[in-house]
Structure 1
Amino acid sequence: MAAARLYQRKWVLIKLPIALLALATMAWLWLEWLPMPPSQLRVSAGRADGVYYAYAQQYAQKFAEHGVTLEVLESDGALQNLQRLHGEQAELAFMQGGVGYLGSAGNIRGSGRVQTLANIDIEPLWIFSRLRDIESLQQLQGLKVSLGPAGSGTRLLALKLLEQVRLGPKDLTVTDTAGMAAVQALQQGTLDAAVMVLAPESAVINALLIAPGLQLVQLRRTAALTERLPYLEPHLLAQGTLDPTGRHPPQDATLLTVVASLVARDDLHPALKRLATQIASEIHARSGLFYRPGEFPSLKRLDFPASAEARHTLVHGLPWLEAHLPFWWAQVTTRLLVICLPVLLLALWLAHLIPAYLRWLVESRVTRWYGELKYIELDLSRDSLSGLDLTKYLGRLNSIERRMAAFVTPAYLMPRWFMLRQHIDFVRLRLYRRRGR
Structure 2
Amino acid sequence: MKKRSFFLGTALMIVLSLILAACGGEKTGSGKPKFISIATGGTGGTYYPLGGTFAKLIQDETGIETNAITSGASAENMASLKKKKVEIAFTQSDIASYATKGELMFKDNKVENVQGIGTLYPETIQIVTTKDSGISSVADLKGKVVSVGEAGSGTLANAEQILEVYGMKTDDLKARNLSFDDSVQGIQDGTIDAAFITSGTPTGAVEGLGAQVEISIVPLDDDKISDLIKKYPYYAKDEIKKGTYGLEDPVTTVAVRAMLVVRDDLSEDTVYKITKAIYEHTDKITHAKGEYIKAENALNGMGIKLHPGAKKYFDEKGIKQK
**TM class by smaller structure:** 0.7 to 0.9
Tell me the residue number matched to 2:35.
40
- Listed as ranges, the gaps of 5+ residues in structure 1 are 1-26, 318-437
Tell me the residue number matched to 1:58.
53
Higher helix share: 1
Distance (Å, rounded) in 2 between the aligned partners of 1:224 and 1:34? 45
- Contact (CA 8 Å) 1:284, 1:297: kept in 2 or not? no
Distance (Å, rounded) in 2 between the aligned partners of 1:280 and 1:297? 13
C-alpha deviation, 1:92, in angstroms: 0.7
Tell me the residue number matched to 1:132.
134
Q: Aligned runs of 1:26-425 on 2, under 5 Å?
A: 34-65=29-60, 66-102=62-98, 103-104=103-104, 106-107=106-107, 109-130=109-130, 131-136=133-138, 138-221=139-222, 222-240=225-243, 242=244, 248-284=246-282, 294=294, 297-316=297-316
Q: Would the alpha carbon gap of residues 47 and 108 (structure 1) be closer, same or farther in structure 2, given more than 3 Å must change?
A: farther
- Contact (CA 8 Å) 1:281, 1:297: kept in 2 or not? no
Instruction: Please give the per-residue CA displacement for 1:339-379, whole angstroms capped at 9, x wherever unaligned.
Output: xxxxxxxxxxxxxxxxxxxxxxxxxxxxxxxxxxxxxxxxx
C-alpha deviation, 1:110, in angstroms: 4.4
Q: Would the alpha carbon gap of residues 84 and 227 (structure 1) be closer, same or farther in structure 2, given more than 3 Å must change?
A: same
Q: Would the alpha carbon gap of residues 235 and 132 (structure 1) be closer, same or farther in structure 2, given more than 3 Å must change?
A: same
Q: Would the alpha carbon gap of residues 283 and 76 (structure 1) be closer, same or farther in structure 2, given more than 3 Å must change?
A: farther
SS in 1 for 2:93: coil
Distance (Å, rounded) in 2 between the aligned partners of 1:293 and 1:266? 23
Q: Would the alpha carbon gap of residues 108 and 310 (structure 1) be closer, same or farther in structure 2, given more than 3 Å must change?
A: farther
Distance (Å, rounded) in 1 between the aligned partners of 2:175 and 2:166? 16
Distance (Å, rounded) in 2 between the aligned partners of 1:279 and 1:205? 30
Instruction: Please give the per-residue CA displacement for 1:31-50, whole angstroms capped at 9, x wherever unaligned.
Output: 99942121112221111232
Distance (Å, rounded) in 2 between the aligned partners of 1:211 and 1:257? 26
TM-score calculated relative to the size of structure 1: 0.59
Instruction: Please give the per-residue CA displacement for 1:89-138, whole angstroms capped at 9, x wherever unaligned.
Output: 111100112114453364254413211110011121110123235222x3
Q: Tell me the amino acid that sits aligned with residue 267 of structure 1.
A: D
Q: Tell me the amino acid that sits aligned with residue 192 of structure 1.
A: D
Tell me the residue number matched to 2:11.
none
C-alpha deviation, 1:161, in angstroms: 2.1
Q: Tell me the amino acid that sits aligned with residue 81 of structure 2.
A: L
Distance (Å, rounded) in 2 between the aligned partners of 1:239 and 1:121? 19
- Contact (CA 8 Å) 2:39, 2:71: kept in 1 or not? yes
Tell me the residue number matched to 2:13.
none
SS in 1 for 2:258: strand
Instruction: Please give the per-residue CA displacement for 1:146-204, whole angstroms capped at 9, x wherever unaligned.
Output: 11222421122212222333433322222123333322211222101100011213221
Q: Tell me the amino acid that sits aligned with residue 264 of structure 2.
A: D
Aligned residues with identical type, % of pairs: 22
Q: Would the alpha carbon gap of residues 260 and 34 (structure 1) be closer, same or farther in structure 2, given more than 3 Å must change?
A: closer
Q: Tell me the amino acid that sits aligned with residue 178 of structure 1.
A: S
- Contact (CA 8 Å) 1:281, 1:296: kept in 2 or not? no
- Contact (CA 8 Å) 1:209, 1:249: kept in 2 or not? no
TM-score calculated relative to the size of structure 2: 0.78
Instruction: Please give the per-residue CA displacement for 1:414-436, whole angstroms capped at 9, x wherever unaligned.
Output: xxxxxxxxxxxxxxxxxxxxxxx
Distance (Å, rounded) in 2 between the aligned partners of 1:237 and 1:106? 30
Q: CA RMSD in A?
A: 2.9
Distance (Å, rounded) in 2 between the aligned partners of 1:306 and 1:263? 9
Q: Would the alpha carbon gap of residues 296 and 146 (structure 1) be closer, same or farther in structure 2, given more than 3 Å must change?
A: farther
Distance (Å, rounded) in 2 between the aligned partners of 1:154 and 1:33? 33
- Contact (CA 8 Å) 1:85, 1:264: kept in 2 or not? yes
Distance (Å, rounded) in 2 between the aligned partners of 1:46 and 1:292? 19
Tell me the residue number matched to 1:393.
none
- Listed as ranges, the gaps of 5+ residues in structure 2 are 1-16, 318-322
Distance (Å, rounded) in 2 between the aligned partners of 1:200 and 1:33? 36
Q: Tell me the amino acid that sits aligned with residue 77 of structure 2.
A: N
- Contact (CA 8 Å) 2:120, 2:260: kept in 1 or not? yes
Q: Would the alpha carbon gap of residues 224 and 54 (structure 1) be closer, same or farther in structure 2, given more than 3 Å must change?
A: same
